[in-house]
Structure 1
Amino acid sequence: MDSEGWGFSPSIMARVAEYAMELWHEHRIPIILSTLFVLGVLRIYLHYTEEPQRLLVLPKLYEGKSQDKEKVAEDGKSFPTEKESLKQPTESSGDEKSAKRKAGPRRIKGDITKKARAGAEATKGPRKIQTLVFYTCLTGSTEKIAKQFAQSLEDSLKAKETSSTYLTPKILDLAEADYDEYFITPPKTDGESIDYFYLLLLPSYNIDSINDNFLEHLRETHHDFRIDTSPLSPILGYSVFGFGDREGWPTEEEGFCFQAKEVDKWMAKLSGRKRAYPLGMGDWKTDGKERMAEWQTGLLDVLQHVEETGGLGEGVPGSGNPIESDDEEIDDDDGEVVFEEGTESKGTKQKSSGSLEDVEDIGRIMAANGSTGKKSSAPIAIDFTTEGKTNKKTTAAAAVKEMVPKNSPTYNSLTKQGYSIVGSHSGVKICRWTKSALRGRGSCYKYSFYGINSHQCMETTPSLSCSNKCVFCWRHGTNPVGTTWRWVVDPPDLIFNGVKENHYKKIKMMRGVPGVRAERFSEAMRIRHCALSLVGEPIFYPYINEFLAMLHKERISSFLVCNAQHPDQLAALTHVTQLYVSIDASNKESLRRIDRPLHRDFWERFQKCLDILRERRFRQRTVFRLTLVKGFNVEDEAEGYADLVERGLPCFVEIKGVTYCGTSTSSSAGLTMSNVPFYPEVCDFVLALEKALLKRGLKYGIAAEHAHSCCILLASDRFNVNGKWHTIIDYDKFFNLLEEKGPDGDFTPEDYMGPETPEWATWGNGGFDPRDQRVDRKGKPIVEVS
């Protein structure tokens, strides 16, 4: 019956509903608490008023003496005695197993203590123990040491005459390993009973490296309320050996093996204090081999003890603490205040990461930085995301740390690869297509698609650090990694002037190269375009908008590429000529395997960035860049990529085959030449993707191609005018709009859409620059036979 049938008007019913809603919002907490209280009282009442169940007192089979007294239940019924209960089944069947079943369950007095459990497990018979040897490395030396150590350990374990079965030690590079698989819970086994023993070999670096990310993961895991504080307690034990450099760090207080110490501390917390052997430390230039031999000898004794007893043993008082027992300055409270019965809290000993001493340290840091004589318009960046306590002695060093110091292995590696390091965290490098265009041997796909002269293009980045470790990365893991900016910040004018100066130096070095065209060399001395896609994550730089403004002021167009892991920075980005997002996988697991992201919530960040691009599609030219890697993200993933395009609705989709680097690092990541797709395979994938997009009602078409770089362009029909694709950019219009409306001005990609795409660049025509001459690998001209 409706409201009119009851005599109430709709307005009265609406007021009653509104009043009821206001009443609920005003008194919802007392109502909920009262309801819970009533339910609790009702549960207690039912518990005490329900009819008691009959209790059966069963014979104590484990006791040596038989009890001939009759057991009586609460309802007065009698049951056979223990002797009868054992006798009857035997007489009827003669089967010992059936006798035990009919005798009923056995009741055991007492409980197994935690300390006894480990020993009890040893009585189950032979057991399998898997030792996992983790290591980090920048130059390759630690990897070699880890392999030698694992082989020596395996030989020593086989020589031991024990009942347990030792599996071959596994060697794992922390730069390749999945932290969630090994350092949130022990690895899962397929039905096998395997116990794990962790060994970590860690050199300490005074530059940002994978060690910093690993330590950050351990800290986050410990402080994550969703995860048990000791998630690694099922492992048998762990031990850490650190390599240091006493020449670089003369005393242990100043940092000798400081990262190994931190890992040892956090592993103690996560494993429930299962430090099997003390932290080993050695300087490989002097006493490293001797110290490591001593550490290995102690480990063998521990492993034999673990095998015989099933546990580490009780040890001495204080063993297994996260920090050394004689360290009186640091309390093991993780910033938490714990009150025990019969004790008084001592507020004077409480420490936290936000103490006044830390603030005073910041002042001293800034004063110290000002005394160096360097003028910097940018403030010092300090990472306030670090959890837990910090040591006063290392706060200053950590806060002013440079991303790529000039005396670091990273600096040496990048400069050998042809980079010019600008400041402490930026770089510039001349592209191979720039060299090719200078000699008239072909231009980059950007010329075919967007009209950019390769010889006037500068490839640079204001941040050499990245939050991914992609399997196809050109830098082979030598560039720094991190999830938050925690380095010194160079001012944008220093970076802008530095990259231009170094780019022009590299162009001038091409003067003596045979085949360089004089007119193009002259044009190359005027930068017209900047590709912010060299290495690292350009959007990571805190002053990226100021840097872009300097480029645009000199009418240098900007193509910025990000890896879809920093949505906040992406949302704050001002106008760029063209905004790229790398889409390297169509689903979460593929993205984890290919990009190997450092963020735990990488998939959520990835999706949020796609949503931001969707919002900006009418304000900026947005591009999805798909890098195809056979065996990773090509097979049967066209439909998944179409879903991502439907979510982000970019203006363009670039599909490019991966470029193989040919390094051992890539091979260890699972990348070989067999993972590089042929151009016909890329074409087949593009056709499948186009079909999947049309099936979803998305109007995209194949606009251009550049077969020489194995790249094809899909474009929205927004850029198809009168049946002709217009992918070229009118750069003069872009700068005029930018000057007129400002960096956050409201103008659309169509407002600076240029002339139609040249015929030679369209689908089916190859896309090679007709101004140039194709050559083979030996530099000889290729004559096309018609």
Structure 2
Amino acid sequence: MASNLTTDWGGSQSPGDFLEFWHTHREVILVVVICFSSTAWILYSTLPTRRVIKQPPTHSVATAKLAPTKPVVLNTENLEAPVEALPQDAVAHGPRRIKGELRKPEATRKVSSFEGSRRTQVLIFYSSLTTTTEKIANDFARNLSASLEGDAERKDLFCDPSVLDLAQIDYDEYFINPPKPVDSTTPVEYFYLLLIPSYNIDTINDNLLEHLQETHHDFRIDTAPLSGLLGYSVFGLGDREGWPTEEEGFCFQAKEVDRWMAKLTGRKRAYPLGMGDKKQDLKNRLGEWAEGMTDVLKLAATTGSLGEGVPGSGDADESDFEYASGEDDDEVVVEESATLKKKKKNNNKKTTNIDDVEDLGRIMKSNQASPNDSKGPTPIAIDFTTYKKSNAKKAVAQTVKEMVPKSSPTYTSLTKQGYSIVGSHSGVKICRWTKSALRGRGSCYKYSFYGIASHQCMETTPSLSCSNKCVFCWRHGTNPVGTTWRWVVDPPEMIFEGVKAGHYQKIKMMRGVPGVRAERFAEAMRIRHCALSLVGEPIFYPHINEFLGMLHAERISSFLVCNAQHPDQLAALKAVTQLYVSIDASNKESLRKIDRPLHRDFWERFQRCLDILREKRFKHRTVFRLTLVKGFNIEDEVEGYADLVERGLPCFVEIKGVTYCGTSTSAGAGLSMANVPFYAEVTEFVTALNKKLNERGLDYGLAAEHAHSCCVLIASGRFRVDGKWHTRIDYTRFFELLEERGADGDWKPEDYMGPETPEWATWGKGGFDPRDERVDRKGRKIEVS
């Protein structure tokens, strides 16, 4: 059998020979086949459908230098393409892989240029059962067209507005994707306006709402398919006879359409939801809404943008964005353990969520040590007073600097906190109560006490510098301090125009915020009041009287707050609508601990300011502002405060519980949540103080309260008429007196005393405006008893 075997593989072989070879080397063969197959599969799977043709090695260098700078990509079908078009690097590196990219639809891309090449098409949708809304929509379209054409610079940017009946259109053409323009040669941006009456029967509105909701939740469609729109806004038509309030259904369907459109457009609410009563105020409300919409349309058509917005602006959900970002509603928060625990956890983290001014609640940023690390007694205030023994030559040679230069950390810190810095030493900022009032969720205590609507109030200061370092101040380390003005002085005209522009800019940023009321937004674009109490010491500014005169010339009331450390400036102050002095302690040692003044003669200055206020009480409405801090100025100080009131005889005494700002500097001063009084403790203190004043024969009484701000007002009997308190101000009469008799004229606070204090604002009634809706930090309604 051995002789039959053949070892010459070049000759004939039997099947048994191959079988024997397979059994002998099958492991090696399998490994080789598997490796080869895997390599081939990997190469095949990564092979692009498009490739760069490799340049032949015979190609000349001279031709390669003429090649384009970018690789030329050719389809595999075009192999006959000339190789001269290929770059030189293709020779060195071989084929390059081309990665695919998802091309976004033209409608969803961001428009980079609006130079007349694009036009804006306004689509006005309406629903109607009785043709009333149809007539309103057509009239609105004609007026809008006339307004847009009246602007010669922008009329070419708009197409004629189109009016569409929701009962006649196909929703898929308008509410799944923006419509396609008929003329493809000119790009068109669409802007939706919806006029929605509310009905309590099944109508086309229900079909629309169902379609919007299903579109948003359809997994086959993007959650914001209408994000390609330039913007949208909704106006609701209702009847208060059938539904007196929004809670009972007034314009409820318009509110729902607005909410779902916010979701589908990706927060492109261009203007607040407008609402009008067909039988009462429809013409005025629609006119305000139309005027605002015209301005927004012109801005959007020119810039391709709805403008700058605040964080959360245009958020589809009707949650309270203020509280979601950590902003307090000015109720005193007493959950000490949770607060301290959170502070420990975030001790080394930075934050830019800084609280608003007088009515403060949010945690400001902290880069210093934890409160638990602070030890020892309260720090003693540093004295910065300038004395005659100082080197005069050195003072002359010193260069006058700006208080807050743009390159300084102070400027950076303040702007991050939401301030608009005007010039070198002034600032403006809208407070959380402005945002709250715009949404119908209540104004601050000034509305309950004095009739100041928060959304029409500008909070500013012409001086960011202060001469105190109060333990409860929320601006430690962010604003300069000093006892004398040693900085560049900006002219009052520049400050006045700058703070107005800054305020209006911040108001405009609110127009896309959910819940903002169109009528209040329109009112907010007219400043009527100015609170000079933002930060620092306003009376410190050398031209404060000129600044006040500019406010009054435009019929803007003035509420000025000072810290009782500048008696000379206080004595020289001219007419003010209402003049505040902060009274933070009843004796010298307590004032030293809580205000930490920089002046050595702080107590003497404090007493002189009280005497000046006593003299001004028949010229100005004077106010003592008491900020109660448990452990500092509450216990056993009622008698002392009664002495101060007797000395100054102010028209009013405001008592407010401190709001803890959570700063490490406050903790270093010994302040914690334990120092925040409950409202019950504030009312107990107020009752005791009022009793002491009456025992001394002083005519004062408990006039009003605002429990939401933890604030109570004690008023002089001068403002009680026929047993009714009149703490509010007749602002029209105030400006008439200024015009008739001048800032130094002979007139007194009773001459511009306003109407009776509303019953809901008086002592014992809580002080929350019943027209507004009170909510908690989650945006949920709170029942006000």
TM value normalised by structure 2: 0.52
Q: Tell me what 1:519 maps to.
A: 519
Q: Shift in Å at residue 399 of structure 1?
A: 3.4
Partner of 1:549: 549
Q: Could you say which residue in structure 2 is the equivalent of 1:177?
A: 379
Rounded Cα–Cα distance in structure 2 between residues aligned with 1:142 and 1:665: 8
Aligned to 1:774: 774
Counterpart mapping for 1:39-438 below 5 A: 177-178=379-380, 216=384, 220=387, 387-391=390-394, 398-438=398-438
- Kindly provide the amino acid, as one letter, of the partner of residue 572 in structure 1: A
CA distance in 1, matches of 2:638, 2:449: 22
Q: What is the aligned partner in structure 2 of residue 448 from structure 1?
A: 448
The residue aligned with 2:578 is 578
Asked whether the equivalents of residues 472 and 666 of structure 1 are also in contact (C-alpha less than 8 Å), the reply is yes
Say whether 1:608 aligns with 2:608. Answer: yes
Structure 2 Cα separation of the partners of residues 143 and 409 of structure 1: 19
Report the CA distance shift for 1:139/1:481 in structure 2 as closer, same or farther (over 3 A): farther
Distance 1:453 1:140, change over 3 A: closer
SS at match of 2:639: helix
Rounded Cα–Cα distance in structure 2 between residues aligned with 1:582 and 1:141 = 29
Q: Counterpart of 1:693 in structure 2: which amino acid?
A: L
| Residues 390, 621 of structure 1: alpha-carbon distance in 2 compared, 3 angstrom cutoff | same
Q: Hey, what's the Cα distance between the residues in 1 that align with 2:578 and 2:725?
A: 17
Letter in 2 for 1:473: C
Aligned to 2:673: 673
Preserved CA contact (<8 Å) 2:368 2:665: no
Q: Deviations over 1:415-449 (max 9, x none)?
A: 11111110000000101100000011111100000
Measured at CA, do residues 712 and 553 of structure 1 come closer, stay the same or move farther in structure 2, by a change above 3 Å?
A: same
- Determine the C-alpha separation between the residues in 2 that align with 1:390 and 1:513: 57
C-alpha contact 1:405 1:411 (8 A) present in aligned 2: yes
Q: 1:594 and 2:597 equivalent? A: no
AA paired with 1:553? A
Contact 1:399 1:487 in 2 (8 A): no
**Per-residue CA shift, 1:286-309, capped at 9, x if unaligned?**
xxxxxxxxxxxxxxxxxxxxxxxx
Q: Is the 8 A contact 1:469 1:477 kept in 2?
A: no
Partner of 1:199: none
Contact kept, 8 Å, 1:399 with 1:488, in 2: the verdict is: no
SS class of match (1:399):
coil
Q: Using a 3 Å threshold, how does the CA distance of structure 1 residues 451 and 142 change in structure 2: closer, same or farther?
A: closer
2:627 paired with 1:627: yes
Q: What code does the residue aligned with 1:633 have?
A: N
In structure 2, C-alpha distance between the alignment counterparts of 1:413 and 1:460, rounded to whole Å: 17
Per the alignment, residue 691 of structure 2 pairs with 691
2:366, 2:783 → 1: CA distance?
A: 45
Partner of 1:424: helix, strand, or coil? Answer: coil
Per-residue deviation at 1:178? 1.9
On the 8 A contact 1:139/1:409 being kept in 2, the answer is: no
**CA distance in 2 between partners of 1:140 and 1:448 (Å):** 34
Looking at structure 1, the residues matched to 466 and 425 of structure 2 have their Cα atoms a distance apart, in angstroms, of 11
Counterpart of 2:472 in structure 1 is 472
Give, in whole Å, the separation in 1 of the partners of 2:559 and 2:708.
Answer: 21
Let me know the Cα RMSD of the aligned residues: 2.2
User: Aligned letter for 2:706?
Assistant: H
One-letter identity of the residue aligned with 2:739: E
Displacement of 1:140? 8.2
Mapping of residues 666-745 of structure 1, within 5 Å: 666-745=666-745
Q: Match of 1:283?
A: none
> Contact between 2:419 and 2:429, CA under 8 Å: does it hold in 1?
yes
1:499 paired to 2:496: no
Share of identical aligned residues, percent?
Answer: 79
| Amino acid in structure 2 at the alignment position of 1:177 | P
Partners of 1:707 and 1:688 lie apart in 2 by 18
Structure 2 counterpart of 1:512, one-letter code: G
Q: Distance in 2 between matches of 1:625 and 1:139?
A: 27
Deviation sequence 1:356-414 (CA, Å, 0-9, x none): xxxxxxxxxxxxxxxxxxxxxxxxxxxxxxx21444xx856x43200001111111111
8 A contact 1:399–1:486 mirrored in 2: no
Deviations 1:95-133 (A, max 9, x none): xxxxxxxxxxxxxxxxxxxxxxxxxxxxxxxxxxxxxxx
User: Does structure 2 retain, via aligned residues, the 8 Å contact 1:427–1:462?
Assistant: yes
Q: Residue 708 of structure 1 aligns to which amino acid in structure 2? A: H
Q: 1:116 maps to what in 2?
A: none
Contact 2:369 2:664 in 1 (8 A): no
What residue number does 2:528 align with? 528
Is the contact made by 2:379 and 2:669 (CA closer than 8 Å) also made in structure 1? no
Distance of aligned partners of 1:769 and 1:142 in 2 relative to their CA distance in 1, 3 Å threshold: closer
C-alpha distance in structure 2 between counterparts of 1:578 and 1:732, whole Å: 14
Equivalent-residue separation in structure 2 for 1:682 and 1:475 (angstroms): 24
Matched, 1:481 2:481: yes
How far apart, CA to CA, are the structure 1 residues paired with 2:396 and 2:607? 36
| C-alpha distance in structure 1 between counterparts of 2:365 and 2:472, whole Å | 19
* Post-superposition CA distance 1:178-225 (Å, at most 9, x none): 25xxxxxxxxxxxxxxxxxxxxxxxxxxxxxxxxx65x45x74xx6xx
CA drift of 1:783 comes to: 3.1
Deviation (angstroms), 1:141: 8.0
- The aligned counterpart of 2:291 is none
Give runs of ≥4 in structure 1 deviating > 6 Å. 138-144, 170-173
- Structure 1 residue 581 displacement after superposition: 0.4
- Structure 1 gaps, min length 5: 1-137, 148-169, 180-212, 224-333, 335-386
TM-fit CA distance, 1:669: 1.2
Q: For 2:647 and 2:561, how far apart are their aligned partners in 1?
A: 19
CA contact (8 A) 1:719 1:725 kept: yes
Q: Which residue of 2 aligns with 1:154?
A: none
Tell me, yes or no, if the aligned pair for 1:653 and 1:714 is still in contact at 8 Å: yes
> Aligned with 1:574: secondary structure?
coil
Change (3 A) 1:683 1:400: same
Aligned partner letter, 1:766: G
Instruction: Give the counterpart letter for 1:563 in structure 2.
Output: N
Bigger relative contact order (CA 8 A; separation at least 6) = 2
Specify the SS of the correspondent of 1:435. helix
- Render the CA deviation track for 1:56-102: whole Å, top value 9, x for unaligned: xxxxxxxxxxxxxxxxxxxxxxxxxxxxxxxxxxxxxxxxxxxxxxx
Say whether the 8 Å CA contact 2:617–2:650 is kept in structure 1.
yes
**CA shift in 2, pair 1:139/1:714, >3 Å:** closer
Structure 1 residue 476, shift from structure 2 partner: 2.4
Q: 1:143 to 1:441 in 2, by over 3 A?
A: closer
Hey, what does 2:645 align to over in structure 1? 645
The aligned amino acid for 2:613 is: L
Paired residue type of 1:763: W
Q: Secondary structure at the match of 2:576?
A: coil
Change (3 A) 1:744 1:399: farther
- C-alpha separation between the residues in 2 aligned to 1:143 and 1:489? 36
- Give, in whole Å, the separation in 1 of the partners of 2:586 and 2:623: 16
State the Cα distance separating 1:701 from its structure 2 match: 0.1
What CA distance in whole angstroms lies between the structure 2 residues aligned with 1:726 and 1:140? 43
**In 2 relative to 1, CA 777–401 (structure 1 residues): closer, same or farther, beyond 3 Å?**
same
2:391 partner amino acid: G
Q: Which has the larger radius of gyration?
A: 2
